[in-house]
Amino acid sequence: MSESSMTVAGVMSGTSADGINVALVRIEKAQTSSNQAVASSLTHRGQNLPEACRGECPRHTGPLIELLGHAEYPYPRQVRAAVLAAMNSTHASVADLARLNFLLGELYSDAILSTQRRFKTKADLIGCHGQTLYHQGKPSDFLERKISATWQTGEAAIVAAKLGVPVVSDFRPADMAVGGKGAPLVPLLDYMLFRDAQVGRIVQNIGGIANLTAIPAGATAADVIAFDTGPGNMVIDAITEKLFGRRYDRDGKIAATGTVLEKIVSKLLRRTYFRQKAPKTAGREEFGRKFVDEFFRLHKGCRKQDIVATATALTAKSIADAVRRLAHGKAKGPKANFQEMILSGGGAKNPTLVNMLKQELAPLGVKVCLSDEFGLPSAAKEAVAFAVLAYETWHRRPSNIPTATGAKRPAVLGKISYP
């Protein structure tokens, strides 16, 4: 298939279930003969991501990307409630789930159309992650077989019909079909944008769940380590909602007035998930309602703001713990030195959380900066990633990083819906 320049819309809605992020990305023709997406380098031009140019690998000249625009669309209140109910439910109405799939298809279409109008650009291709309702990366017993499973909803056929262009969706199952955990998939973009010959970097996204991509200095794709460190905003959001009736702790203001209950954080950090080796993935199954109920039980009689501060510290310290394990070579993969952490996701907008992280990482010699400082708005990163993954799939190239997902081999990700 010949390689072409395309404008691709990447659409993401994460486990926070806060809404839809759309990124319009221009991806230029690749000049590499390599058929391995992971081996090609994603560079960029113009004023976008100037710093990351330092990471360009001299052996390959891969596609160029340019972020043309990014927009966020919060879910209407009732839609968010329906999504959260479906995620947390052990019993759900099949009719409602089917309707939710088609409804989200409509909302994704509206979001892409609005973004196209706003930036006066039309996409040639769409990469739509969908809303995860269930993710179980590790096989477990089910009807006498070992099964792992994932489910992203948001009907791509609706999006293809409304936008009039092909849509790549359902990225995760192909990785799981070859033994991977189906996540994380963003490391491809992290590797392409942020690898550096001299600087060891950790690219840390703080969405509902927090995940990191560790890229040692001079790394090849095979050296990349990536996994979910644990809760991102998910626990903070749930606690803030319950105690203060607000969707999230805006600008970390509540946590800033509280005192962290260190003993509780230490106790929680001893849980199996945090000590497990990578690759590992987490979701609402690990840090959703059940975890939050337990979190509350540990805080009987505590001040409300202290509970929010403690939830914030749990995120910061679990990330720092993961970095410490990496630096000491306890996590699977090469022993490495890391000098920079590049933050993205909604959690990067919480200064209390970011300051806690800075304090934890300073003794390790790791400097924390925001992906915005590299020209990539922190809220846009995952949407950009799914534009790039769609582009790779459109050209029939694999885009999972097996060391990150645990897959036995690279796989072409996703399904294509035609208009």
Q: Which residues would be at the binding site for ligand ADP (CB under 6 A)?
A: 14-16, 18, 207-208, 233, 237, 248-252, 345-347, 349-350, 382
Q: Which two structure tokens, joined as six digits, stand for 300?
A: 């009987």
Q: Could you tell me the strand order of the sheet in which 367-370 lies?
A: 225-231, 209-215, 201-206, 340-344, 367-370
Smallest gap from Cβ 251 to ligand ADP, in A, equals: 5
Comparing CB distances to Mg ion, the nearer of 18 and 196 is: 18
Among 14, 62, 200, 252, binds Mg ion (CB under 5 A): 14
For residue 344, the cross-strand partners are 205
Question: Is residue 350 near Mg ion by the rule CB under 5 A?
Answer: no
By a kind-dependent CB cut-off of 5 to 8 A, residue 251 interacts, out of Mg ion, ligand ADP, none, with ligand ADP
Instruction: Return the closest-CA partner of residue 15 out of 77, 76, 80.
Output: 80
The minimum distance between CB 344 and ligand ADP, in angstroms, equals 8
Q: How far is the CB of 14 from ligand ADP (least distance, A)?
A: 2
Sign of the CA dihedral with 346 first, then 285, 189, and 68 last: negative
Instruction: Specify which residues 23 forms β-bridges with.
Output: 10, 70
Report the nearest approach of ligand ADP to the CB of residue 351 (Å). 8
- Give 57 or 239: the residue with its C-beta nearer to ligand ADP: 239
Which partner, Mg ion, ligand ADP, none, binds residue 391 by CB below 5 to 8 Å per kind? Answer: none
CA count, 13 A, side-chain hemisphere, 120: 0
For ligand ADP, the closer CB: 339 or 355: 355
- Alpha carbon distance 416, 419 (integer Å): 10
Under rule CB under 5 A, how many of the chain's residues touch Mg ion?
3
Question: Other C-beta atoms within 10 Å of 227: how many?
Answer: 28
Task: Please give the Cα distance from 179 to 347 (Å, whole number).
Answer: 31
d(CA 283, CA 262): 24
Is 18 a binder of Mg ion (CB under 5 A)? Answer: yes
* Residue 248 interface partner, choices ligand ADP, Mg ion, none, CB cut-off 5-8 Å depending on type: ligand ADP
CB of residue 207 to ligand ADP, shortest distance in Å: 3
CB of 347 to ligand ADP, least distance (A): 6
User: Do residues 202 and 341 touch, judged by C-beta distance below 8 A?
Assistant: yes
How are beta strands 43-44 and 19-27 bridged, if at all?
unpaired
Q: By CB under 5 A, tell whether 237 contacts Mg ion.
A: no
Compute the least distance from the CB of residue 59 to Mg ion, in Å: 35
Nearer to ligand ADP, 184 or 333 (CB): 184
88, burial (CB in 10 Å: exposed 0-12, middle 13-18, buried 19+): middle
Residue 249 touches which member of ligand ADP, Mg ion, none, C-beta under 5-8 Å by kind: ligand ADP
